[in-house]
């Protein structure tokens, strides 16, 4: 295992190691010490390796991740795993705003709460949140799944496309065009599979499904701009 | 962009280290605000009949000694001056109104930053490290402070446009964000006798709160009124004589994170400004929720 200390090297040096030297040497396990809220830790990964960040990360931890499995043993700032393509990011603490924004693939697991705009504009990523999610989560989410084991804030799923949200707790309010739908066997199976992936113990039967009512898919002149 | 920091010391033994503990917090926010910096610090109170005035001189070679001399000559009243670079703290038992008029008449180019019994304000252009060195922030002692690093987006980069802003005595406010209706707020408040010193959006928010507090609102009620009147994005961090308070607008586009231990409450736009604090690993860390008022008492 390679251990890199951000008190001794810069984030640029760290990411250069992760992008170039780690694949060249075939490093399968990396530990990052003293992250101290620095931005862009392990952003732009394109290589299958395990990365353990020992502390709190700043903005964009694991952004654009492809293939790597990243664990943050602490909290993260804005935009964790933004635009992730594949692999996984696990946050042991809480995540600030826009977690998993625009993510195309892979799995983002947040063991604590996620702040506002979790999964905004997601495009295929799966996000599992052990705690609550803040207001405007999954705004304009296009594809993928968000599982919330706690409560959801205001405006959940506003202007959703094909992404699906599963919530165990209370939903403060739904956004425009989002609606609660009946759970099917496929939904229960999906929630079970995602909870298992995250290692969270909940009964899939307790989750609600939120999806798009699709009333915004086509322009409705009679709506008089009221939605 | 801008960065905000706040530190309230609960453990009296640490109060002599207020500046030292805060300095890496302010410098940690340099990338968010490289063009100006400032802070309001709450120190031990002056005498019950006294007030202290934080003053800023644009000329570097300004003679504070001469000002002190003129003050005593003209007003026949004792005054103490504590100068530090372009800044000085003037302490007197004369009424604030008298001092204001005298300063305006005899030293019109001076900028009066604040009036109060506990609060001193320092602010200037330059990187946070430069401003901190110029005013020796590391040596500051006291119970609490609120600080700011500025990246100007809506008005000029001058010492007057730097934060904190103040309204009334011992009240300070720093702002991360931007307001879109400062001019309409100004048009509403000026006829009510509220004077503005700059065209800065944060000053408009500060004057709005000043007006509400003047009309008898407590801080919470004033901020609730602010949710309706202030159009834009904001995380506000405020200082009063014995409190530090924080509020974020409904959309919470501007960040903040809080670390609380038995010894202190520390607030910054981002965790990287808190990482150096003693025992932060065991601190209670959380993100303040939108439209909720958080108040910590000294």
pLDDT for B4 equals 98
Query: Which of A38, A97, A115 lies closest to B272 in CB terms?
Result: A38
Q: Which one of A32, A55, A77 would you mutate to disrupt binding with B, by most B Cβ within 10 Å of its Cβ? A: A77
pLDDT for B219 equals 87
Q: Do A78 and B257 touch (CB under 8 A)?
A: no
- pLDDT tens digit sequence for A160-174: 999 999 999 999 999
What are the chain B neighbours of A99 within 8 Å (beta carbons)? none
Q: What are the residues of chain A with a beta carbon less than 8 Å away from any beta carbon of chain B?
A: 36-39, 56, 58-59, 75, 77-78, 93-94, 96-97, 115-116, 134-136
pLDDT for B167 equals 85
Q: Do B255 and A93 touch (CB under 8 A)?
A: no
Structural domains of chain A, with CATH: 2-212 (2.160.20.60)
What are the chain B neighbours of A134 within 8 Å (beta carbons)? 252, 289-290
| pLDDT over threshold 90, residue A8 | yes
pLDDT for B26 equals 98
CA closest to B250 among chain A residues:
A135
pLDDT for A227 equals 61
Is 0.90 exceeded by the ipTM?
yes
Give me the mean pLDDT over the B143-158 stretch.
94
pLDDT for B295 equals 95
Q: What percent of chain A has pLDDT over 90?
A: 95
pLDDT for A132 equals 98
- B255 touches A at CB < 8 Å: yes
What are the chain B neighbours of A77 within 8 Å (beta carbons)? 255, 270-271
Q: Do B272 and A37 touch (CB under 8 A)?
A: yes
Of A40-44, A104-108, A205-209, B219-223, least confident by mean pLDDT is B219-223
CA closest to A133 among chain B residues:
B289
- pLDDT tens digit sequence for A16-28: 999 999 999 999 9
| pLDDT over threshold 80, residue A224 | no
Helix (H, G, I), strand (E, B) or coil at B157: coil
- pLDDT tens digit sequence for A41-55: 999 999 999 999 999
Structural domains of chain B, with CATH: 3-41+125-297 (3.60.20.10), 45-117 (3.30.70)
Concerning whether B206 is annotated as a catalytic residue, the answer is no
| pLDDT over threshold 80, residue A4 | yes
- pLDDT tens digit sequence for B220-266: 899 999 999 999 999 999 999 999 999 999 999 999 999 999 999 99
* Average pLDDT of chain A, as a whole number: 97
| pLDDT over threshold 90, residue A219 | no
**Which one is predicted more confidently, B199 or B6?**
B6
Encode chain A in three state secondary structure.
CEEEECCCCCHHHHHHHHHHHHHHHCCCEEEEECCCCCCCCCCCCECCCEEEEECCCCCCCCCCCECCEEEECCCECCCCCCCCCCCEEEECCCECCCCCCCCCCCEEEECCCECCCCCCCCEEEEEEECCCECCCCCCCCCEEEEEECCCECCCECCCCCCCEEEECCCECCECCCEEEECCCHHHHHHHHHHHHHHCCCCCHHHCEEEEECCCCCCCCHHHCCCC
Closest CA to A58 of A100, A25, A96, A111: A96
Using pLDDT thresholds of 50, 70 and 90, give the confidence band for residue B1.
Answer: confident
pLDDT for A170 equals 98
């Amino acid at each position: 295992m390679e251990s890199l200390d951000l008190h001794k090297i810069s984030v640029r040096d760290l990411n250069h190691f992760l992008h170039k030297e780690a694949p060249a040497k075939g490093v399968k396990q990396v530990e990052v010490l003293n992250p101290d809220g620095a931005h862009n830790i392990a952003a732009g990964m394109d290589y299958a390796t395990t990365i353990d960040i020992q502390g709190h990360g700043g903005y964009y931890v694991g952004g654009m991740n492809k293939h790597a499995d990243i664990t943050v043993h602490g909290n993260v700032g804005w935009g964790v795993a933004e635009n992730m393509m594949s692999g996984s990011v696990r946050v042991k603490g809480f995540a600030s705003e826009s977690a998993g924004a625009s993510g195309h693939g892979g799995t983002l697991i947040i063991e604590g709460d996620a702040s506002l705009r979790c999964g905004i504009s997601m495009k295929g990523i799966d996000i599992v949140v052990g705690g609550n999610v803040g207001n405007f989560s999954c705004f304009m989410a296009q594809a993928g799944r968000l599982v919330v084991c706690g409560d959801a804030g205001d405006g959940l799923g506003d202007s959703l496309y094909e992404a699906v949200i599963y919530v165990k707790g209370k939903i403060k309010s739904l956004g425009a065009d989002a609606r609660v739908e009946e759970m099917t066997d496929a939904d229960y199976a999906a929630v079970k599979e995602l909870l298992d992936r995250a290692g969270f113990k909940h009964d899939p039967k307790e989750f609600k499904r939120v999806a798009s009512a699709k009333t915004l898919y086509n322009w409705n002149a009679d709506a008089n701009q009221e939605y | 962009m801008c960065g905000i920091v706040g530190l309230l010391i609960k453990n009296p033994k640490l109060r002599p280290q207020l500046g030292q503990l805060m300095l890496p917090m302010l410098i940690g926010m340099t990338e968010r605000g490289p063009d100006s910096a400032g802070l309001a610090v709450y120190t031990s109170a002056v005498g019950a009949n006294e007030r202290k005035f934080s003053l800023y001189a644009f000329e570097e070679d300004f003679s504070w000694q001469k000002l002190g001399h003129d003050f005593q000559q003209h007003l026949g009243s004792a005054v103490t001056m504590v100068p530090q670079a372009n800044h000085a703290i003037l302490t007197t038992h004369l009424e604030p109104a008298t001092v204001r008029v005298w300063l305006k008449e005899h030293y019109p180019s001076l900028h009066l930053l604040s009036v109060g019994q506990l609060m001193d304000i320092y602010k200037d252009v330059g990187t946070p490290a430069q401003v901190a060195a110029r005013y020796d922030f590391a040596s500051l002692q006291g119970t609490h402070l609120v600080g700011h690093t500025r990246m100007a987006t809506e008005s000029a980069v001058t010492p007057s446009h730097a934060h904190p802003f103040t309204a009334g005595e011992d009240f300070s406010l720093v702002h991360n964000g931007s307001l879109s209706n400062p001019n309409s707020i100004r048009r509403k408040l000026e006829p009510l006798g509220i004077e503005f010193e700059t065209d800065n959006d944060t000053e408009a928010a500060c004057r709005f709160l000043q007006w509400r507090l003047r009309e008898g609102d407590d801080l919470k009620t004033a901020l609730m009124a602010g949710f309706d009147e202030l159009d834009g994005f904001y995380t506000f961090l405020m200082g009063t004589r014995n409190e530090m308070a924080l509020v974020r607008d409904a959309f919470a586009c501007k960040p903040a994170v809080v670390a609380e231990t038995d010894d202190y409450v520390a607030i910054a736009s981002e965790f990287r400004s808190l990482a150096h604090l003693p025992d932060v690993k065991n601190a209670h860390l959380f993100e303040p929720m939108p439209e909720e008022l958080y108040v910590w008492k000294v």
